[in-house]
Amino acid sequence: MLGAFCIRRNKAMQPIVITGGPGAGKTTLLNALGELGYATFAEGSRTLIEQQSQLDNGVLPWTNLPEFANLCLELMGKQKQDALSHEVVFVDRAIPDIVAYLKVGGCPVEQTFLTESAGYQSKVLTCRPEASIYVQDDVRPHSFEEALQIHQTLVDTYAELGYEVIDVPWGSVEKRVAFVRQVMGLVVGVDGEKGE
């Protein structure tokens, strides 16, 4: 059935954000989209946590959230610029996520974070944490209840920043990928009509 459809090839679009609380299957979804040939950028904050935790004086969000937020801003800003060289690109979290995490941590949000939150596709895809796959670890220290609170703050923050927040329903990876492609208008039928 997918053979009857093709990826819409027009001009490059702004990076498409996939966000949501921890343990929502974002990385699995992103990887599946990558396997279909879409450009993807992995979650920068998780990479930073892994790198910083190896350093003697590493900057971690639970010890110095404002400084960690600055590191994320630098990395995600570079990702956003690099993403513009791709026709269609998905990013696992984006700069508005930093704003939300600063709010969760009770830290002030500098104007720079708000200004840099622009420049992504207007439709933002959110994945709600799922209890059946949620695992706490050194990089994900939050309880499931905290993950749900973080998720709601992310949804609220993106909406406050003017993005259209679209919930990706829980289901098989294949169903989630099909939903994402449909809602983002990435599939058109042979006759030019949008496919399912």
Q: What CATH number did the domain enclosing 65 receive? A: 3.40.50.300
Residue 195 resides in a domain = no
Write down the pLDDT at residue 193.
Answer: 44
What does the angle CA 123 – CA 87 – CA 26 come to, to the nearest 5 degrees?
50
Report yes or no: 180 and 188 within 8 Å, Cβ to Cβ. no
> What 3-state DSSP class applies to 16?
strand
Q: pLDDT tens, 84-100?
A: 999 999 999 999 999 99
pTM: 0.86
Q: pLDDT tens, 4-41?
A: 333 444 456 899 999 999 889 999 999 999 999 999 99
- Position 133 confidence tier, pLDDT thresholds 50, 70, 90: confident
- Position 190 confidence tier, pLDDT thresholds 50, 70, 90: very low
Measured CA to CA, the distance from residue 136 to residue 142 in angstroms comes to 6
Residue 135 resides in a domain = yes
What does the angle CA 105 – CA 168 – CA 62 come to, to the nearest 5 degrees?
20
Q: How many domains does the chain have?
A: 1
Across all residues in the chain, what is the average pLDDT? Answer: 89
Q: Which residue range(s) make up the domain with 148?
A: 2-185
Residue 40 resides in a domain = yes
Q: pLDDT tens, 55-91?
A: 999 999 989 999 999 999 999 999 999 999 999 999 9
Please state at what angle helix 26-35 crosses helix 173-183, rounded to 10 degrees: 70
Write down the pLDDT at residue 54.
Answer: 93
Q: Which whole number is the average pLDDT over 35-60? A: 93
